[in-house]
Structure 1
């Protein structure tokens, strides 16, 4: 493990693991850390040496001197280059691979746009960013949505009520409910949710460009979805999948909570 000093951002903490020799930069989902992919030890970690980054407001990564106003305005997508440029500075310029789960996929997709000719493999699991997710679009980009998001963050009772309602109408399943509820039960956790999603609000990948670069540079692309995922299902990525005919697409008998031992077993059996 170690830190990268990202210009204009702060210190990005990362975890190193995996038995393979191919370097892979990995970005986890909300509420986790860069160690999230450690459970894929019998499949992916046999081939890759993973550098798993903690998102800001997660693990040990720390923004440097950012005001609340800056956080709510969002991180300029150009700053995402810092992850790769500083990694190059530390480990030498070389080809690399990428892996992202859920909101972490946004960073991966932006990096494909920036470094397509340097990337060997891409693995995306239940990825955000392949299409516009209306829930996040409203909360992060619509005035009324941003007001509602801030109000919920400040309230001790409103956030749990919203989560219960989403479960009741079937928008999220029990596993997502448990995760979400655990992330909003204190004022600090609610603030971290609010800050995390606002910080990455400008990281809106151009899915059409990503698809074109994957084809142009023959990037090996694996897409993994949960059959019972109501958040980022395979159907939401249908247009992207169609535009990347070489993609290796899987739909696993899981929900959005996808990076688990069962996925590792599924991938091992494929081999």
Structure 2
């Protein structure tokens, strides 16, 4: 474990684990920490040494001197480079790979935009960032959506009611409902949801550029989707996938909650 002191941003906490020797910078999903990928011990972790970063408002990462106005305005995309530049200061400038699950995929893709010539592989699981997700876009970028989002997170009853409604209409499954509900049951947790999604709202990769760079540098690209994932399904990513020369694409018998032991077993079986 350690911290990267990123200028103008704050202290990004990271977890270091895995028995492999190749460095892999990893970004987790909402409500988790950089330790999320530890369950992939017999597959990914056999090949890689993971540096898993806690998102801000998660784990031990802390913004430094940011006002609420700055947070809601969003973190500039250029700041994502700070993760790698500060990591280089500790471990030396070298080749590396990136991995992202759900909202964490945005950071992995942005780093590929900036460091394609140094990246060996990108691993994306149930990735955000490959298409516009209308729900998040409404809440984060549309005036009416931003007002609604702020109102919901300030309320003790609106947020739980909304989550229950999403489950009732089948928009989220039981596992996602349990995770989401546990993330909004206190005022502090609701504030963290609001701050997190506002902070990252500008962190959207240029998918056309990403695809061009993956093809140009022949970067190994592994993408994993859940067949019953209603948040970031494979069908939404098809326009992006169709522009890649040799993507390694998998659709597994899981929902959005992908980083689990079953995925580790699935990946192990691919190696045999």
1:144-197 per-residue CA deviation (whole Å, 9 max, x = no partner) reads 000000000000000010001111111111111011000000000000000001
> Which secondary structure state, in structure 2, belongs to the residue aligned with residue 16 of structure 1?
strand
Root-mean-square deviation over aligned CA pairs:
0.4
Corresponding residue of 1:168: 168
Q: Distance in 1 between matches of 2:99 and 2:108?
A: 7
Match of 1:244 in 2: 244
Is 1:25 equivalent to 2:25 in the alignment?
yes
Of 236-245 and 66-75, the range deviating more from structure 2: 236-245
For 1:192, the equivalent position in structure 2 comes to 192
Deviation at 1:41, TM superposition (A): 0.2
Q: Hey, what does 1:61 align to over in structure 2?
A: 61
Q: Does 1:91 align with 2:91?
A: yes
Offset, 1:130: 0.2
Q: TM-score, normalised by structure 1?
A: 0.99
User: What CA deviation, in whole Å up to 9, does each residue of 1:52-109 have, x standing for no partner?
Assistant: 0000000000000100000000000000000000000110000000000000000011
**1:62-211 alignment, distance < 5 Å:** 62-211=62-211
What's the CA shift for 1:114?
0.6
Aligned to 2:242, the other structure's residue is in SS state helix
> Which whole-Å CA distance do the structure 1 matches of 2:117 and 2:240 have between them?
20
TM-fit CA distance, 1:13: 0.3
1:214 aligned partner:
214
What is the CA distance between 1:245 and its match in structure 2?
2.9
Does the residue aligned with 2:250 lie in a helix, a strand or coil?
A: strand
Please give the alpha-carbon distance, in whole angstroms, between the structure 1 residues aligned to 2:196 and 2:254.
25
